[in-house]
Amino acid sequence: MSRQRPPGSSWISFQYVCFLVNAFIFSCICCVPLVLGETHWVLNDIENGRIEPVSNSPLCLRQPHSLVQFIEADELSEKVSQAYVEVGIARKEAFDAKYVDPKSAEKIMETDSNCRASKSIKFEEKTFNTFVEYDLMPALVETKTYITPPLAKDILTPSMLRKLYFGPLTVKKGFEPYCGNVPVKNRVTTLPLIHAGDLFALFPYPKEPYLIDLSKENLIHLGELIASSLDNDETRIFGLYYAGYYWRYHGNAVEAAACFQKSILMSMSSSGVFALASMHYLAGDYHHALAAFSTEDVVFNSAPAVPIQWYQASGDLHALMGELDSSEAQYTEALKTASKAYNSKNLQLKRSLVKCVKAIRETNPEAHSETVLKVKNAVLTLNEYREKVMNIKLPAADHIKAKYAYEHLTHGPMNGMSCQSYFTEGSKPKSRVRTLDCRLTNSKTYNASLAAKKVILRRDQSLKVQELMDVVNKGPAQRAEFLTYVHDAHVAFDEYYKKLTPFVGVDMDEPQSGKKYPLEGKTSTPIIEKVQVGPLVCEGLETFDLQRLYDTEIYDIEPEAFPFFPELIISPDNKGFSPAYLLTTLLALGPFDSSPLPWAEPSCLAYLNVDDNTTIVPGLKIGDYTKTKIPVYHEKTLRHFLETLLGGTTPQEKALVGDIGQRIYLAFQFNIGPKWMLYNLAAAYWRFMGNIKEAAICLKGALAANVHNDIALNQLAQLTVRLGPEYIPAAKKIAEEAIKIDPDEPVSHYTLGFLNFLDSSLYRAKREFTKTLELEPNFEDAKLALISVACLRRSSGTIETVRNLHRPMCCWPSEQNVYCFGRGDKQRCFRLSVRDDSDRVLDYQYVRCSGRYTKESYKVSPIYRFLLPLYVSMDELDNLMLHTKIQNITRGEEKSSKDTSPVIPLDDGGFDTVKFPTFRGIPEMDRFEQSSTDYGEARKKRLQKEAENNQLRNARLSEQEFEEKVRIIQGITDRRHVVSLDVELPAFLPNPGQDMVKNGLKYLKPPQPNTLADYCVMTEKNKRVLDHPSPTYISVTAKGIRLEEYVDPTAPVTSITGNEPICPEPEADDQWNVLDDLPGYQFREHYRFYNPETALTDALMSLGNKHERIDHVAARLHLALKTSKLSNNGNINGVVTAVSSLYWRVKGDPVNALKCLRHALKYLPEDMKDTALISMANIYHQAGFLHSALIVGGKAHQRTPDLVVTHFTLANIYATMGDYQHALQFFYSTLALQPSFQQAKERIRAIYCLTHGKVTV
């Protein structure tokens, strides 16, 4: 049954009521807090909705942005409140002692002497809580006058304070004694368990009217007098002390505690501690009250009255908590210190009463002990929760300062408050923070000023509410206007859809015109005018800073100033397809029409099934384009292309970029036009908008269409280069692919020229810019680029040719221009040759100009290969090209008469034609040994290598043999049995050499037969040493590599994605693939005894930052692999894969570890391959394939015979095999290389002891 509206009512009136309610709630909840500057509010009056602020709340946190801390503080506040109640209950139970039998109590009271002596007083709280009313300061200052401490109300009068402390002090009118601004020099460094104002925010605190007995006028005068004393150095200590009593009277425990604490810091006195202890008692914080009274050794002085009152108050407090034994002890101590002049009657009565009550309660000792223990536990629980709150709560002083600063910023300067702004100290300008420090100078003036500000703010809020009311009143008219708009929109859409229907699903299969490039009348060899540059032309173009181009903070490069990132696109018009026809005629919209459909942008993600892991081109994924640094990606120059897409050229005819985006969206929605064109236009739109990821997604769709892909590739190259300098090689590859598809597009050549310029390939850049002008003579950016290249080369100061840097020399009659680098035995000579005719690429070719024949060819140092394109002139390059073509023609003519006899080296580097006929007609041989160089040690090494290779070839298993041995492995239960499946021991075992062994013997002498027993005291420990070999690892840093150049330790990484450094499978390498035949490698997926090498964890974690986990290091290595691949033309540097293997060894994954090591073997420099071999030997060793480990470790030893880790690794392998003689030799050679190697010494001792000294070196 539906509800009926009453007559005359309307929904508008209902909305009106709702609005008024919301406006009221807004003004109460949102506006009032802003006025008062509080952050904690409570609803005290639920019926009337009264909300009040809580100053210095425990919910005012040190970290207010932390939701976790806020929830924790809220829970702790509840626990503190509950614990506070439980303390009160427990204390009341202990004090009342209802467990006592009335009859037993009555009998004791009649017979006990203490009970009879104390009949005049009762055991109730008011008997013991009077100590809070006393003031100990006069007993310290006037010891003769005040034998006993007076009541505070007798001292806290203006006349008494002047008489005792202040004298004729000038009074400042209108001030109260706030202690926050009072400067104090700390004379006391520590005070055990005494807490200031922050503590009292956690407990309710009562007003203390018994402390001051003055009229209102005199009370104001008292506050002004104490406030004035705070400004005087002589009276400040007393002013701080009595300011505490002033605020206790008013119930402001936070301010009172702050005043007492500052007085204590100025001069440790028992009076201030006594006052603070009294405050703790009144707040129900018995733990800190008792702690304060336990500091008598710190605060007592020579005043005789002070200890009496101190012990008496401590006894009172213990009695109130039900701890009667401690109370009696304190009263007894007070009576001991009392002089004859002291009236100790009341003190004696209290002690007798406590003894009497204790005797009564001892009739039930278990209940008595239980209640006392309950009080102690409740107090400890309360203190525990309180400490937790204090750890996360904002200190009261900081809260007050922040509150005053907030009110100053909200309402402006106010009378009675002084604010100063200053910068915090910092080592860097950016680390300095401006801070506002506000303090009260006159509280009354401040409160009046703040109240006036509140009135103004409330008035302004009322005006805003009235403005909102006016808007609500316009609701009916606006609703009617909206309904009319919706109706008209529906009609317009229906009419538009009727016109659009014939074009839905239409594709532009055929171009509307011919291709634009190459231009008609273009000659095959155009003449480009040479660029002439001078100082005026090159002004500002002499240098180029690549990093500045990528600096987002100073990105102020104008489009006119080359170099800047290309913001270009190959228009579909160049291919004969008209975007204007698609976006106007096929969409049934004129150039100046607006679409009746809701505006939307052309998001390509709605039409493609892609994610961040989707590959766009090899090596690049969608996720690589997630950066959105504006303005780096906001390609403003594309505005002209988008605005003229509909055919307009004048400002009045140009289209809006937003309208172009919607038209592309409509074409997608209604499946109109070729997809390759729509995706390319959408990518251009998103490039202009600065959304690089959306642009990349659109280009993925354009490439998938596979039509005129050079347009999409060119855009993708321009996007990729903006990601960072490390992406320049990838962008070059993309641009080169675009040119292969259509070499007649000038934009593609310009883009590739720009990328070559960034890559310092100035000749290639010049070639591409020249090609651009050949295709489009009016390409102004290419002209400017050519000038920039010329100016950069002109100002570089480099020598133009290699001939000027290194004079050529004559080596052979046919080699008269040879360039030699290096000196002495290290000198190598090379001639210039053309490596690639089509790309005009030069390279060095080794020539053995002189010296002994070594059967090897050498590569030129990378620095000379890098500088070659910059030094060789274009004329020299043309001559070399011509010379190469002539040589090729000559070879072609002589092909039929080619001599197939072997080429014999000329031993001495001379030219002797007599030697050639001697060797004519010798048949080709697989291997030619030259006896003059193959003898002695060289021959021995060659034969050893051949034997090793033959043995490894024989280790290859058939598929059936492999499966059979896998089954055997699965049944092995002892790692020592794995070696039975390994290859036979090599014929040539690694040997350190006797000289090294002898040198090692100097550092650890073998034991003598008569001392062997003493030598082997630790035999059992030494057995464990040999049974658990230590993993070893050679860091690439030992080879002089700066690891931070390959693995960036500062790059931000995350462990959420779970990225790991998975190495690629390397291509075949004849030199190292022979190791794949080792059983240790063949059975890598079936290891049973290989465990994570956790001893290498520290070495792995050195690749990360402090406090990072292993998964962070894995992500960092994953990033390094990816970066290396992008910067090395798709090939990953062997240094990165060698380091990545360390992660897999620590994780215990031998398959991935060996994959990384095989890759490292292929791509590491020759002098670093031993790092991979040693790691591989360790893995085989741990898995039980000892012979495989020995073979691989031996190859490492052949390469670097003087490396400590290699000797130690081989020694461990021999020791595990039980070949203790070879193990001893390598352990001693380890000591020869590093005499302090303690682990080698331990293993030497173990071998001697396990073999009873029978095995020697």
pLDDT for residue 304: 59
Same domain, 780 and 687: yes
The residues, ordered by sequence, that sit 6+ positions from 315 with a Cβ below 8 Å of its Cβ are 326, 327, 328, 329, 330, 331, 334, 350, 351, 354
Residues 439 and 340 in one domain: no
Same domain, 1076 and 1151: yes
Would you state the pLDDT for residue 555? 47
* The pLDDT of residue 929: 36
User: Does 532 score more than 60 pLDDT?
Assistant: no
Please check whether residue 998 lies inside any domain of the structure.
Answer: no
Instruction: Say which range, 455-464, 537-546, 690-699, has the weakest mean pLDDT.
Output: 537-546
Q: In this predicted model, what pLDDT tens digit does every residue of 418-447 receive, in sequence order?
A: 888 777 665 555 556 777 888 777 767 777
The reply to whether 726 and 595 lie within a common domain is: yes
- Indicate whether 773 and 822 sit together in one domain: no
pLDDT at residue 681, as a whole number:
97
Full-prediction pTM beyond 0.75? no
Of 393 and 216, more confident = 216
Stated length of the chain: 1257
pLDDT classification of 895: cutoffs 50, 70, 90: very low
CA dist 117 and 448 (Å) reads: 59
Q: Is the pLDDT of residue 30 over 60?
A: no
Q: Domain boundary residue among 312, 344, 363?
A: 363
Whole-angstrom CA distances from 526 to 491, 743, 771, 774, 886 are 60, 16, 10, 6, 25
Predicted local distance difference test score (pLDDT) of residue 708 = 94
- Residue 26: pLDDT above 50? no
416, 346: one domain:
no
Lowest mean pLDDT of 302-306, 335-339, 1057-1061, 1167-1171, name the range.
302-306
Whether pLDDT at 41 is above 60 = no
Residue 91 domain flag = no
Give the end of a domain, one of 849, 867, 885.
867
Q: Is residue 190 part of a domain?
A: yes
Does the residue 501 lie in any domain?
no
How sure is the predictor about 933, in pLDDT bands with cuts at 50, 70 and 90?
A: very low
Q: Determine, yes or no, domain membership for 152.
A: yes
Q: Specify whether 698 is located in the same domain as 821.
A: no
Are both 670 and 593 inside the same structural domain?
A: yes
Task: Determine the structural domain holding residue 408 and report its residue range.
Answer: 11-60+399-454+462-470
**Residues 912, 719: Cα–Cα separation, whole Å:** 60
pLDDT for residue 1088 is more than 80: yes
Listing DSSP states for 296-320 in one string gives HHHH--S-THHHHHHHHHHHHHHHH
Q: How many domains does the chain have?
A: 5
Q: Report whether 657 contacts 685 (CB < 8 A).
A: yes
Residue-level pLDDT at 980: 85
Of the segments 239-253, 364-378, 952-966, which one has the largest average pLDDT value?
239-253
pLDDT at 1201 over 80: yes
Specify whether the CB–CB gap between 625 and 730 falls below 8 A. Answer: no
3-state secondary structure 702-738: HHHHCCCHHHHHHHHHHHHHCCCHHHHHHHHHHHHHH
> Residue 959, SS3?
helix
Q: Give the C-alpha separation, 435 to 405, whole Å.
A: 9
Structure tokens at 395: 């200190």
Q: Are residues 436 and 563 in the same domain?
A: no
Residues 441, 172 contacting (CB under 8 angstroms): no
Per residue in 122-137, pLDDT (tens digit) is: 888 888 888 889 898 8
Q: For residue 793, name the pLDDT band (cuts at 50, 70, 90).
A: low
d(CA 688, CA 685): 5
pLDDT at 716 over 50: yes
Give the contacts of 1124 (CB within 8 A, at least 6 positions apart). 1046, 1132, 1133, 1136
Mean of per-residue pLDDT scores for the chain: 77
**Radius of gyration of the chain from its Cα atoms, rounded to whole angstroms:** 47
Within a domain: 512: no
Residue 574 pLDDT class (50, 70, 90 cuts): very high
- With a cut of 70, say whether residue 371 has pLDDT above it: yes
Most confident of 36-45, 110-119, 241-250, 408-417: 241-250
Average pLDDT (964-985) is: 86
Which runs of E-coded beta strand occur in 329-408? none
Do 831 and 776 sit in the same domain of this protein? Answer: no
CB count, 10 Å around CB of 724? 12
- Averaged over 957-974, what is the pLDDT? 85
Out of 1135, 1157, 1180, a domain closes at 1180
- 643 and 786 belong to one structural domain: yes
Give the pLDDT mean for 463-474: 79
Phi-psi category of residue 8: left, alpha or beta, with phi > 0 → left and psi -120 to 50 → alpha? left
Q: Are 344 and 408 part of one and the same domain?
A: no
pLDDT at 1127: 76
Q: Name the residue among 322, 330, 317, 319 with its Cα closest to residue 376.
A: 322
Beta-carbon contacts of 314 under 8 Å, excluding residues fewer than 6 positions away, are 290, 293, 330
Question: Two tokens at 254?
Answer: 């936070």
Q: How high is the pLDDT of residue 713?
A: 96
* Choice between 245 and 396, residue whose per-residue pLDDT is larger: 245
The proportion of the chain whose per-residue pLDDT surpasses 70, expressed as a percent, equals 75
Whichever domain contains 605, its CATH number is 1.25.40.10
Q: Which H helix or E strand runs over 829?
A: strand 828-836
> Is 1108 within a domain?
yes
Please give the Cα distance from 1092 to 1082 (Å, whole number). Answer: 20
Q: CA–CA separation, 571 vs 547, rounded Å?
A: 31
- Residue 84 included in any domain: no
pLDDT at 948: 65
